[in-house]
Every structure is written in C-alpha cells, then in structure tokens.
Structure 1
C-alpha cells in the first residue's frame, strides 16, 4: 500500500470523543494545524466521529439559496457550517469517521496534488482490505465532486462516494482531512437532497451512500481498526491521547 506522507516517521495519535459542538470539532483541526506549524505539536493523526453536520463550501455560501439550505439542514438535525477548505456541501454524522493528518512542511503548497492522489489510494486500499471494491475517481453526479473521491463500485461501475477529502495549508504545515462514510446513509442522503435543491445544484442522490450499503457487516469500529493498522504498518503511532 502506498503511503501518503513523506516526512514523518511517527505520528502522535489523538482520539477525540464524540461531542455536540460541530463548530468546535471543525475548528479544532485548524487549531492543531497552527500548533504543528509553529512546532509546539508533533506530526499528528486525529480521529473522531463527528456530530451531524452539513459542511458548506465557500461558493455555496454565495448562492441565493444558502439561507434556505441552512434552514433545511437544521430541520434535518444537521448543524450548517461553512468550512475553510473543500468544495461543495457535504454531510456527515456519527456513522462517519473523520481523519485529520497534520505534518510540518517547509513548502506545504508544493505537494498538494500529490497528497490528494496518495491519500486517495491509501484510503481505497484500507477499504479494499475490509471487503469493498474501492477505487479513486469522481463518481458521475456525486455531491461535493472531486477528482480524488474514493468510491465504491457496483458491478464494476463507480456508484457510491465513500471518502471525501480536503486540504488546508498554512505557513509551515498542512492538514489533510478525510471523511469516511461508513454507516447509516439514509439521513445523509435525505439532508443532502434538500440542501442541494435549496442551493439549485444538480446531483444524483444515489451517489450518497456508505460502506455499509456495499458490505453489510462494515462498521465504524472496523474501519477505524483497519485504518490504524494500515498506518501502523508504515510508521510508528505514538500512544493515543484522548480528550475528556
């Protein structure tokens, strides 16, 4: 399996507990990025299971239907937020696993595209190892479309978006954030259907699924275990710290 990092031989593992503060969950990644950039934190791997959130892109916030989209998100029980990185609206909840990988870099911009490709292959490999037919590439009509989406195939055809990725860089460090959609896809599909209608954006709701839809026994716990095993096979993970 290819490795998505080039510098760190060790990552400090951080396992955040579940919370009900979607904004704080999102901002914590940026706070960690700043710490890594100034050298007060080592290269870090942060995992958490997010509270229900619709993360809008900057372009979404400028559309006439943005206010309505926020209202329907809230009606579905998802907190609407505008993220600093990424494309169009994406939804996630506690049936998902968010993976934030942070490393220092003298020129964090230089490797941006290479990181998208390498992390995509890495996550596709993790999901393949637990029984999915996972590959890298955009799914036609997907929400928050991206060249390096990790998707699941049905009868050999790209069908379901399984991992969405985004990056943020600051002077001295980069953050690569990935959302692995594992369980309970119905609420995600429902909120995205109404959000995209409000924004006036076309998409195919069938692309909003989860790993569990394609391999019935897959759980967030199983994906987390497989992910950590894949990381541990290539570098050292320092003992996990847990926030209380």
Structure 2
C-alpha cells in the first residue's frame, strides 16, 4: 500500500485549501498515486455541509462563526456543520478505486473502530455511537463514556473512489462550543452544547502531537522527514 503523507504545515490557502485538497486528490490522483493520507491540525474552521447551505439560516450562521474567529467553508462530504481548530486532529483519507460505492457503511464501522482503539490506547474511555443532541450526529461517532462526542466522520464517494474524513477533538472544548451554539441555532438544528467533548476531558495529559503520532502508527505510516511547504508531498510505503 503506497501512502502519500502531506506535511502538516498549513496549506497556502488556509481552510479553503484544506477542504479542496481531498476532492482534488480523489479526482486527479497526482503522481499516479492510489491512496493519500493527510493528518493535520488546521486553523479555526467551521465546515458546513452542502445540506447546511440549503437552510434559510445558513448565511447568518456563516457570518456568526466568522465573527467568532472561524473561517466558514463548505466541505464536499455529507453530514452537518463541524467545527475544528488547532486543538483538533483532522484525517483526510483518499482511496482511488472503481469499487468505491460498495458498502460505504463498512468504512464507517472500520474507521470508527480504528479511531476508538487509538483513543483507548491513550487512556480514553472511547465508545462508538451517537450521543443524543451531538453536533453532526452519526451512528459511528466516537464518544467519551457515552456522554460527549470526540470523533466525527463523513465521507464522499464518487466514480473515482472515496474520501473519508474524520475529526478528533483533542483540546479546547469551550472554543468549539461557541461557534456550534450560534450556528446550530441559526440553522435550526437540535444541539446540546454539553455533548461537545475533547480527549483531554478524559485524559488530561494527552496532546495533539500524541494523538497525531498514534493515528499515524494506526494507519501504518512512518512520518516522512519534513521537506518544506505542505504542497510538497513525501511518499512512504507501508503495508
């Protein structure tokens, strides 16, 4: 399995480039690559779904999160609004295959189990399943002790393959709640702010760097040496 790991430095275009990168890799497969992985901690971002943009309150929601310091973007995956920042770890996993539409639910199961296992290994009481009132609700969210969501995932499937994106919230729950509260109110979605959690709620000593390293190990990737800007890619081989 060849994995192209992009450096974790911010992309030149910020959050807009972050959400555009996955679809671009899925569509073009630069260098003839089949599989691509990017694990990074982005600038404060409010990632709306296309479904969110159809809600009457979307313009007000986008303006509200911008005032709170989050760049509003529209992500290509499904679901509903998710907020992330430097205290989050975002995983964008692209696999180019003509059989992408076959059992997409299996990917949710598989990666939920992988992410829960990573967090359990870091001392977190990680469980799979939605918490009532969580943001971007999903059957395969990962939560802490059945009370607070810490990992959410969404995917996009095209004729070229699949893009599976996940967000692990490591630190800064209060910084996440503010934008989520105002945006979900404007969008008209049910949302309970108390369901927003981070890894550090349960394992205070765990850092973004520790989560990133554990995820890379779980995906079977050896981090390449830093080679300049994020737009330059390094290839590693794992299997």
Same fold (TM over 0.5): yes
Shift of 1:240: 5.7
User: 2-side partners of 1:34 and 1:40: how far apart?
Assistant: 11
Relative to structure 1, the CA distance from residue 243 to residue 48 in structure 2 (aligned partners, 3 Å threshold; closer, same or farther) is farther
The 5 A counterparts of 1:161-172 are 161-172=149-160
Matching residue of 1:195: 183
Inter-partner Cα distance in structure 2 for 1:160 and 1:77: 24
SS of the residue aligned with 1:80? strand
Q: CA deviation at 1:237?
A: 4.6
Aligned length: 228
Choose from 98, 105, 112 the match for 1:106.
Answer: 98
- Map of 1:71-220 to 2, 5 A cutoff? 71-153=63-145, 158-220=146-208
Structure 1 residue aligned with 2:15: 22
For the residue of structure 2 that corresponds to 1:54, the secondary structure is strand
CA contact (8 A) 1:12 1:238 kept: no
List per-residue Cα deviations over 1:148-191 (Å, max 9, x = no partner): 101111xxxx1111111111122232111111110111110111
Shift of 1:242: 4.9
Q: Which residue of 2 aligns with 1:58?
A: 50
Measure, in 1, the Cα distance between the counterparts of 2:36 and 2:226. Answer: 11
Find the counterpart in structure 1 of residue 235 from structure 2.
Answer: none
Structure 1 stretches lacking a partner, 5+ long = 1-8
> Is the CA contact 2:19–2:74 (under 8 Å) kept in the aligned structure 1?
no
Please name the residue that 1:32 is paired with. 25
For the aligned residue pairs, the C-alpha RMSD in angstroms reads: 1.8
Give yes or no for contact 1:49–1:94 (8 Å, CA) kept in 2. yes
Contact 1:57 1:88 survives alignment (8 Å): yes
Output the TM-score relative to the length of structure 1: 0.87
Give the 3 Å change call, closer, same or farther, for CA 163–242 of structure 1 in structure 2: farther
Work out the CA distance in 2 between the residues paired with 1:164 and 1:242. Answer: 30
1:164 aligned counterpart, secondary structure = strand
Do the aligned partners of residues 220 and 238 (structure 1) sit closer, same or farther apart at CA in structure 2, a change above 3 Å counting?
closer
Write the distance in 1 (CA, Å) between the matches of 2:2 and 2:33: 12
Uncovered stretches (5+) of structure 2, i.e. residues with no partner: 230-239
Query: Residues 178-227 of structure 1: CA distance to partner in whole angstroms, max 9, x if unpaired?
Result: 11110111110111011111112211101112111121111100101111
